[in-house]
Structure 1
Amino acid sequence: MSPSPGSKVASRAIKASLDAILASMDEDSEYVQLVAHHRRKFKVPWEASGGMPASWQLPVVLEEMHSFLEQLCRSCLSVLTAQQGRDHMAMQLRRLQQDLKREREDFKAKLVECNLTALKQLDVAKGGSGSWEDNDKVIFYEPMKYLSEAHRDLVLMVVKEKLRQLLEGTAPGSFLSELQRSLGLDPASLRQESGQKAEDVEEDDEEEEENHALEVARAAARRAQDLLAVSSKELEETKKSLVQLQVQVEERGAALAEAQQQLEAGERYRQQLVQAMDRLKDQGLEPMEATFVLSETFASLDGTFTDFESLFENAPEDCTSENVAQWHRQHGIQSLVSVDIQPDAVRRRSSLRCRYQDPQEAQEALQLLQDTVVTSEGGQSQVHAKRAGEGLVARVKSKARGKVEEADGKAKTERAESKGIDKVREELRKGSQADGLCATGDGFREGKRETSKPRRADLQAEVAQKSQQLEETTEENKKLKVCLEELQAKVRQLMGNCKERGMEKEIDEIATNIGLKRVLSCPSRFDILYQDAFLRMERLERLRAQFQAERSGSNQEAPEASVRSLIEHSPLVILQQLLSEGPAGFALQGGSPKRRLLHSQSERTAVPASSASPASPTGRSPGAATIAPRPFPPSAHAPKAPSPKAPHAPRSPVLPGLRPRLHVSASAPSLPCALPPLWKKRQ
């Protein structure tokens, strides 16, 4: 940005004054001494110059010295000029400060006087000793105060003249009209102002009344709409919650009954197992002998808790388990275990799942409900009820009861919630006395009565809490079961991979250190069992004779085969090798038994048939029983052949992992080799 013309002029003036100052300083002796001192101090070189008088014979400084002095003088001149301007400004500021201070003191004095006057008037109003005639006026602003003396006199003379004209009545009409108009006292202004004020007041009043009435109507309409919406919503929620509450209570009751049944079954089984263990302890048996006896006990107790399940579809939506149970009691069916209702909101129908202990009563229940049976293409049966008036699809299937451990855990969870569910059912029964279905010959009818809102809210909250707890427990059990299955699969895979890579010894050491020796020591355990089998045959013979002597008379009439004969004619190759080589010659490290048998047969192809061991024409000793795979339980649809009833001990479900792999006929005991030691399993 180029400098302005004014700045150029000021710069030239400063430079001219500076040149004049320097010219006058060149003739000063003090200036010359200062320059010489500066030269000696800063070692500045000198040069002869014709500018100095020849009589002095003194050198001059270089151009740098002149430039330095010029800058120094310019700075001093600028500071001097600015200082003069600041002094003038400072004088004006001081004058203004004095005026402001004086005005402030005057204002404070007037404020004190005003407060004093106000207090005096307050004292008079309260009955004090003062009077209202006192001069208590305080003037804070006086326009004439800020005028000069001449202007103040002029204004006073003009006001005096105008007042004299007004008092004498000689004031011109133009002055009076202007005065009235300036004060707003002319008739036209007064009429217009009064009319406008009246109209404005009337309009404001009408508008205010209309707005008030409109707001009141709107508020009433909003309150009515809100109340209607809340009432409708509460009514719908109450209906839905009541239906859900009934369904949930019935489901929880059925689940609780089933869990209690399973818990009772597990408790009976546990008592029988404890009794069997006590008998084994009293007899003083060794571990493997006790395992053999327990396998026989499990075989006799197996299959007790098989139940039968019937599924009735297309049932009315309002059907309840209490109604179904009442119908069974009316027809004399006492083996009903549980009733599970599964509603279908889309079809507005329900499915009834009934469980029976006796298959004959399950079939009888179906026969009582049906008139004619038509088999469909899907294999199900279309059942037409005699009195229900609508079709039911029913099928009966045999279903073995689940694992006792899972049933026991579920029963404990349900039993912890049984008190809350019973309380909910009792409250629901009290709240709606006629709430339920009537299973009559014409169908299922429902009678409902509304309960109070607080009771329904409490029941709904309690049932929701119990339902949430039950769902969380079920999900947690599922997760734990999946984790356990994954862990078992990983352990099996690890064992197989380590065995393939020849790391069996290292894995055994690691498993022993971390407590997994029992999981990874399956091959060595079976090796010990097979080696010890030969030494225990005689002891098992004595034990078997003692065990058969304790049985009923019907089982004593069957021919009994010796353990050695069973092993000699067993289809298991490894048992035949055990008899031929003895316990010392048995080892699994030389290959599998089938491979070694094939190798030995290939080497003995020329051996005559007479060298074979003598045996019966059929290849088995008389009276010897054969070992065959365990048959599957018969289907519920297949007809059951009548079997002679033998006095057996009460039957109970077998724990998971303890079911024997082989089933032996009544004349021969089962082998203990397929059953792991029970005391290890109980740990």
Structure 2
Amino acid sequence: MSPSPGSKVASRAIKASLDAILASMDEDSEYVQLVAHHRRKFKVPWEEMHSFLEQLCRSCLSVLTAQQGRDHMAMQLRRLQQDLKREREDFKAKLVECNLTALKQLDVAKGGSGSWEDNDKVIFYEPMKYLSEAHRDLVLMVVKEKLRQLLEGTAPGSFLSELQRSLGLDPASLRQESGQKAEDVEEDDEEEEENHALEVARAAARRAQDLLAVSSKELEETKKSLVQLQVQVEERGAALAEAQQQLEAGERYRQQLVQAMDRLKDQGLEPMEATFVLSETFASLDGTFTDFESLFENAPEDCTSENVAQWHRQHGIQSLVSVDIQPDAVRRRSSLRCRYQDPQEAQEALQLLQDTVVTSEGGQSQVHAKRAGEGLVARVKSKARGKVEEADGKAKTERAESKGIDKVREELRKGSQADGLCATGDGFREGKRETSKPRRADLQAEVAQKSQQLEETTEENKKLKVCLEELQAKVRQLMGNCKERGMEKEIDEIATNIGLKRVLSCPSRFDILYQDAFLRMERLERLRAQFQAERSGSNQEAPEASVRSLIEHSPLVILQQLLSEGPAGFALQGGSPKRRLLHSQSERTAVPASSASPASPTGRSPGAATIAPRPFPPSAHAPKAPSPKAPHAPRSPVLPGLRPRLHVSASAPSLPCALPPLWKKRQ
């Protein structure tokens, strides 16, 4: 069968289009690279590769063309279906319009009465009118024959079955219809179940989302609380470690206190006085205080504390607490130990004394910063423990470090002076500066190291102070618990036996000051009596009034009580007049005025909670009288409490210049 002319034209068009496509592909760089790559990879000649690609493109184009044709036919079919659907809708609209017209005509024919008696049948659509006359007669005759058979009962079964099938009354149709209805009902049920399950699932999903949001919020809060707990655990761990260190430091400090107590006893102090020093140390540590001490050497021999105090007042330094003068008979020089409350004023006083002339009463003067070899040796030390630090040896260590720092500063000053002397020659000056720079850097590094050591020592002193306060609080808590459990008498007896009663009783500063004044008065009387007895053979002079006779005429009530009760009256529990009113008569021991005397021990009952100072007989404790040719000690102010009436002559040894460091002003 020869191809038609139309197919030939189509094949030629396809070939022309294929040639044009291949020609355009030869100009594409990606196509050329792909062909060259496959040709090299599979080692195919260029002609075979070109023919293969031509056949491949031709087949692809044919398939594409056929696919486009099928798509065109499918498009035409869809267009026809759309036209048919549109025509059907138009036909239905026309049929509705025809029926409406027939109803209107019937209504008009009946006169608008609306009754259906005359004609009870209304045919809205009559298919017979669309048939021809012959077809209409044929249809009527067939219908007539079939009706007669049905009425006579002679209709064949095939006709009846066809009629039932056409009417949809056959069993198969009925079953199919019932099955479809059942399927529809099942589908409806399934759809309802699915919808119900979907609603349940959506509600569960919403609840899950709400729970997830609440859980996320709780998780965030838990994370935050966990971070806070971790921080608190770290802080508690640090606090626990610090408390452990403080406890260990307190234990070490307790051992140092015991050693300090032994050292005080080794220095010749009686047990009562050693206990008195320790109790005053605890009393001084009840509050928080800090004082700064400066040591000045090479002072004039006859310089007094009044001169130093006047010098401080002239320069506006008001935080001076006390001045202690330590004479040196060999060098004919004295050392000044000044204590300040304000560290800035202590530093200011130190700088001012380096370039200031201090004039004594005898006219002697000393320029501290000008004399070579006798320069000022000064130190400023932060103290928070008083005698306790000096007992455990820390003051000596700080003094050595201070002297080392002062020595380095002196070397720096000498180095700077040597640099000034090198200004005469240019070459010599440059060489000297080059050699002094490394030395100066080393000295500065050493000064920085010593300063850091001083700071570390100060921090350690502060920690020791805190440990001591905690130890004292624990001791008081222990005594309170013992009193609550009814062991007060046993504890008092134990404390009395071991010498800690004064530590636990903690006398007030009022008691301590007047008791110390009384003890000093006793010692002064013994020294005066011994001194007058020794010089009575050589020099006959009018006897001087004793300190006791001056106190007897004093208007101060407390001094009268001192004479009547003796030193034991101030060693009682709550020794001051105000404290004695707070205790009952059963807890104190009454001391008669006739049996109390400064030179005899005061009696006390066996169970009394008192520690009375042991009296010192003149023969056992009186020191040797000084030689008449020995130089007199420098003058110093008398005790503050006895200044209005007590005066010490120049021939008798004077009291110490300043109170011991136990009486420090609390902040």
TM range (shorter): under 0.3
**Number of corresponding residues:** 667
- Cα distance in 1 for residues equivalent to 2:51 and 2:655: 126
The answer to which of 276-285 and 461-470 deviates more is 276-285
Q: 1:380 to 1:519 in 2, by over 3 A?
A: same
Are 1:107 and 2:91 an aligned pair?
A: yes
Structure 1 residue runs of 5 or longer lacking an equivalent are: 47-62
Asked which structure has the greater CA Rg, the reply is 2
Are 1:311 and 2:327 an aligned pair?
A: no
Are 1:670 and 2:649 an aligned pair?
A: no
The answer to which of 598-607 and 402-411 deviates more is 598-607
Q: 1:341 to 1:170 in 2, by over 3 A?
A: farther
How far the C-alpha of 1:505 sits from its partner, in A, is 1.9
Q: 1:206 to 1:624 in 2, by over 3 A?
A: closer
Task: Tell me, yes or no, if the aligned pair for 2:588 and 2:608 is still in contact at 8 Å.
Answer: no
Task: Tell me, yes or no, if the aligned pair for 2:565 and 2:596 is still in contact at 8 Å.
Answer: no
Q: 1:146 to 1:461 in 2, by over 3 A?
A: farther
SS at match of 1:439: helix
Q: Which residue of 2 aligns with 1:12?
A: 12
Task: Tell me, yes or no, if the aligned pair for 1:249 and 1:425 is still in contact at 8 Å.
Answer: no
Task: Tell me, yes or no, if the aligned pair for 1:309 and 1:398 is still in contact at 8 Å.
Answer: yes
Q: Which residue of 1 aligns with 2:487?
A: 503
SS at match of 2:327: strand
Task: Tell me, yes or no, if the aligned pair for 1:310 and 1:362 is still in contact at 8 Å.
Answer: yes
- Cα distance in 2 for residues equivalent to 1:144 and 1:319: 158
From 556, 560, 563, the counterpart of 1:576:
560
How far the C-alpha of 1:138 sits from its partner, in A, is 111
Task: Tell me, yes or no, if the aligned pair for 2:293 and 2:383 is still in contact at 8 Å.
Answer: yes
> Cα deviation per residue 1:225-258 (whole Å; 9 max; x = unaligned)?
9999999999999999999999999999999999
How far the C-alpha of 1:546 sits from its partner, in A, is 1.8
- Cα distance in 2 for residues equivalent to 1:460 and 1:179: 131
Q: 1:529 to 1:478 in 2, by over 3 A?
A: closer
How far the C-alpha of 1:298 sits from its partner, in A, is 23
Task: Tell me, yes or no, if the aligned pair for 1:313 and 1:393 is still in contact at 8 Å.
Answer: yes
> Cα deviation per residue 1:179-209 (whole Å; 9 max; x = unaligned)?
9999999999999999999999999999999
- Cα distance in 1 for residues equivalent to 2:263 and 2:577: 37
Task: Tell me, yes or no, if the aligned pair for 1:120 and 1:130 is still in contact at 8 Å.
Answer: no
Structure 2 residue runs of 5 or longer lacking an equivalent are: none
The answer to which of 545-554 and 388-397 deviates more is 388-397
Q: 1:643 to 1:629 in 2, by over 3 A?
A: farther
How far the C-alpha of 1:368 sits from its partner, in A, is 13
> Cα deviation per residue 1:580-609 (whole Å; 9 max; x = unaligned)?
899999996999868999999999999999
Task: Tell me, yes or no, if the aligned pair for 2:568 and 2:612 is still in contact at 8 Å.
Answer: no
The answer to which of 333-342 and 591-600 deviates more is 333-342
The answer to which of 292-301 and 148-157 deviates more is 148-157
- Cα distance in 1 for residues equivalent to 2:126 and 2:448: 84
How far the C-alpha of 1:476 sits from its partner, in A, is 2.0
Task: Tell me, yes or no, if the aligned pair for 1:625 and 1:667 is still in contact at 8 Å.
Answer: no
Q: 1:134 to 1:239 in 2, by over 3 A?
A: farther
Task: Tell me, yes or no, if the aligned pair for 2:39 and 2:45 is still in contact at 8 Å.
Answer: yes
Q: 1:170 to 1:252 in 2, by over 3 A?
A: same
The answer to which of 199-208 and 266-275 deviates more is 199-208
Task: Tell me, yes or no, if the aligned pair for 1:301 and 1:652 is still in contact at 8 Å.
Answer: no
SS at match of 1:141: coil
- Cα distance in 2 for residues equivalent to 1:629 and 1:662: 23
The answer to which of 240-249 and 600-609 deviates more is 240-249
How far the C-alpha of 1:70 sits from its partner, in A, is 63
Are 1:136 and 2:120 an aligned pair?
A: yes
Task: Tell me, yes or no, if the aligned pair for 1:308 and 1:357 is still in contact at 8 Å.
Answer: yes
- Cα distance in 1 for residues equivalent to 2:473 and 2:611: 31
How far the C-alpha of 1:462 sits from its partner, in A, is 3.6
How far the C-alpha of 1:519 sits from its partner, in A, is 1.3
Q: 1:351 to 1:401 in 2, by over 3 A?
A: same
> Cα deviation per residue 1:460-481 (whole Å; 9 max; x = unaligned)?
5444433322322232234334
Task: Tell me, yes or no, if the aligned pair for 1:343 and 1:349 is still in contact at 8 Å.
Answer: yes
Q: 1:88 to 1:520 in 2, by over 3 A?
A: farther
- Cα distance in 2 for residues equivalent to 1:259 and 1:546: 56
The answer to which of 571-580 and 186-195 deviates more is 186-195
- Cα distance in 1 for residues equivalent to 2:611 and 2:73: 130
- Cα distance in 1 for residues equivalent to 2:333 and 2:213: 31
- Cα distance in 2 for residues equivalent to 1:9 and 1:123: 67
- Cα distance in 1 for residues equivalent to 2:385 and 2:102: 102
- Cα distance in 2 for residues equivalent to 1:614 and 1:208: 117
SS at match of 1:558: coil
How far the C-alpha of 1:508 sits from its partner, in A, is 1.9
- Cα distance in 1 for residues equivalent to 2:418 and 2:101: 88
> Cα deviation per residue 1:645-677 (whole Å; 9 max; x = unaligned)?
996325799999999999889999999999999
- Cα distance in 2 for residues equivalent to 1:435 and 1:215: 99
How far the C-alpha of 1:679 sits from its partner, in A, is 19
How far the C-alpha of 1:549 sits from its partner, in A, is 4.0
Task: Tell me, yes or no, if the aligned pair for 1:18 and 1:73 is still in contact at 8 Å.
Answer: yes
The answer to which of 350-359 and 186-195 deviates more is 186-195
Task: Tell me, yes or no, if the aligned pair for 1:311 and 1:351 is still in contact at 8 Å.
Answer: yes
- Cα distance in 2 for residues equivalent to 1:111 and 1:455: 127
SS at match of 2:324: strand
Q: Which residue of 2 aligns with 1:328?
A: 312
How far the C-alpha of 1:504 sits from its partner, in A, is 4.1
Task: Tell me, yes or no, if the aligned pair for 1:660 and 1:674 is still in contact at 8 Å.
Answer: no
How far the C-alpha of 1:627 sits from its partner, in A, is 25
Q: Which residue of 2 aligns with 1:285?
A: 269
The answer to which of 554-563 and 602-611 deviates more is 602-611
Where in structure 2 are the equivalents of 1:146-185 lying within 5 Å? none
What TM-score do the two structures reach when normalised by structure 1? Answer: 0.25
The answer to which of 340-349 and 610-619 deviates more is 340-349
The answer to which of 21-30 and 298-307 deviates more is 21-30
Q: Which residue of 1 aligns with 2:2?
A: 2
- Cα distance in 2 for residues equivalent to 1:349 and 1:180: 153
What TM-score do the two structures reach when normalised by structure 2? Answer: 0.26
- Cα distance in 2 for residues equivalent to 1:454 and 1:110: 123
- Cα distance in 2 for residues equivalent to 1:131 and 1:647: 166
Task: Tell me, yes or no, if the aligned pair for 1:258 and 1:338 is still in contact at 8 Å.
Answer: no
- Cα distance in 1 for residues equivalent to 2:205 and 2:428: 45
